[in-house]
Amino acid sequence: MPRTSPPAAVSAEHSGDHTHRDVTGGWLRPAVFGAMDGLVSNFALIAGMDGGTSSGSQFIVLAGLAGLAAGAFSMAAGEYTSVASQRELARAEIEVERLEIQRHPGDEELELAETYRAKGLAPELADQVAKQFHANPEQALEEHVREELGLDPNDLPSPVVAAASSFVCFAVGALIPLLPYLLGASNVVPALIMSLTALFVCGAVVSRVTSRSWWYSGLRQLLLGAAAAGLTYFVGTLVGPGIG
């Protein structure tokens, strides 16, 4: 019998360097969005209250705490519902594909081979690969789902993870502009300094998982948050004095 060569081993240097961060776990987007939303929305809320009431008023603290609690629970509920709906839709489509493979295995095998041919594989090789996948129905299902839906059926986002990360990060973000008042601040300046600093830091940290430079992301987030707070403060100065 002819001897077959063992598969080539990946070098230690390559195996150590060739790693990727988790991009499908369902936690990064709600965590980033929650932290930014909590910081910006509560900063703007507190600024608006400060513009419409006497500085250091207990109403500012009450509004800030209410904004923190309401926003965190709302974000968590929204993320859970959104990701759960997305997960349920994905599972429903996966079941559709499972039934198609059971009912029309030959047609589905030809469909998979055609996908490989479209990617550049030789026709004979595409047929062989598709046939090998279809020898195991579960492997065939996973491959069809990846190719047709762009999903990994074994790594769908978790609604619990999304809700928890959103809740915690929103609460932390919303606490930052409120903290100076809880520590006895009598005007909006300490909250302004802390919030703008946190906005820049958060934007810079996000750049670690994007292609943007840290200063660009930080400055962009700072300007957007400052604009939101400034506009809300202006509304507060217009509306507040006219409220009994």
Q: Which amino acid is located at 232 in the chain?
A: T
Please choose, from the candidates 84, 81, 68, the residue with its C-alpha nearest in 3D space to the C-alpha of residue 34: 68
Taking residues 85-90, report their average pLDDT. Answer: 95
Per residue in 214-229, pLDDT (tens digit) is 899 999 999 999 999 9
> Residue 4 has what DSSP assignment?
P
DSSP of 170-185: HHHHHHHHHHHHHTT-
CA-based Rg of the chain, rounded to a whole angstrom?
26
Name the least confident of 4-13, 23-32, 203-212. Answer: 4-13
Query: Scanning the structure block, which residue is given the tokens 């409220």?
Result: 243
Cβ(52)–Cβ(241) under 8 Å? yes
- Confidence check: pLDDT of 74 > 90: yes
Residues 148 and 94: beta-carbon distance below 8 Å: no
CA distance 134 to 167: 43
* pLDDT, tens digit (0-9, with 9 covering 90-100), for 39-66: 999 999 999 988 887 656 788 999 999 9
Q: In terms of pLDDT, which residue wins out, 134 or 31?
A: 134
- Looking at residue 1, what is its pLDDT? 45
Residue 13 is predicted with a pLDDT of: 58
Residue pointed to by tokens 């502009």: 177
| pLDDT at residue 2 in the model | 47
pLDDT band at residue 12 under the 50/70/90 scheme:
low
- Candidates 147, 152, 199; CA nearest to 23 is 152
Taking the C-alpha atoms of residue 34 and residue 213, their distance in angstroms, rounded to an integer, is 22
Locate 47 and state its tokens.
């600024």
